[in-house]
């Protein structure tokens, strides 16, 4: 398993423009939530308890993030738990068609923000070269928020040493 710094630095190389990071801070949570909402109606019984596909996917993603970094992985688990609770409420109140329409709208909006951000950046998304970066994106957003509030300065320095600092750019030029 690759180290946290390696994964985040690789992701950060395509995400140095502040506007791109800002669009990702909204777009990635929308995409993740859309997937949780879309998978929440799919449940199967295990020992008399309905386990949703959203719960299975969330546990798998959190296990990956926990291996990379326990504190960030725990924070992501809390976030996904809250998303799962919200998705449960949505699936209880809307018909399946409404749930899927909401998930599709959130998914489309999230990806629109992603591609808008990469237009500012002037670079292709990181997942184009490495599909594993789709799992790093949510962790990157969380790390950026932690950095914004002064947390994990050593991690931030390590990433910036490899990928460079965040900058304000105009269409790919500093």
Tens digit of pLDDT at every position of the chain (174 positions): 459 999 999 999 889 899 999 999 999 999 999 999 999 999 999 998 989 999 999 999 999 999 999 999 999 999 999 999 999 999 999 999 999 999 999 999 999 999 999 988 888 887 887 788 899 999 999 999 999 999 999 999 999 999 988 887 655 455
The tokens for 75 are 């924070």
Q: Which residues face 49 on adjacent strands? A: 46
For 127, the 3-state DSSP assignment is helix
**Any idea what DSSP says for residue 40?**
T
What pTM value is reported for the model?
A: 0.91
């Amino acid at each position: 398993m690759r180290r946290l710094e390696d994964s985040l630095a690789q992701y950060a190389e395509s995400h140095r423009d502040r506007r791109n990071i800002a669009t990702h801070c909204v777009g990635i949570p929308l995409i993740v939530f859309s997937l949780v909402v879309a998978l929440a109606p799919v449940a199967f019984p295990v020992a008399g308890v309905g386990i949703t596909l959203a719960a299975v996917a969330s546990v798998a993603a959190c296990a990956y993030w926990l291996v990379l970094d326990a504190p960030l992985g725990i924070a992501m688990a809390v976030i996904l738990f809250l998303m799962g609770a919200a998705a449960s409420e949505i699936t209880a109140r809307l018909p399946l068609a409404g749930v899927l329409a909401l998930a599709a709208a959130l998914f489309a909006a999230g990806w629109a923000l992603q591609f808008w951000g990469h237009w500012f950046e002037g670079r292709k998304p990181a997942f184009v070269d490495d599909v594993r970066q789709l799992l790093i994106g949510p962790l990157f957003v969380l790390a950026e928020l932690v950095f914004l509030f002064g947390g994990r300065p050593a991690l931030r320095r390590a990433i910036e040493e490899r990928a460079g600092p965040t900058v304000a750019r105009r269409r790919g030029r500093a």
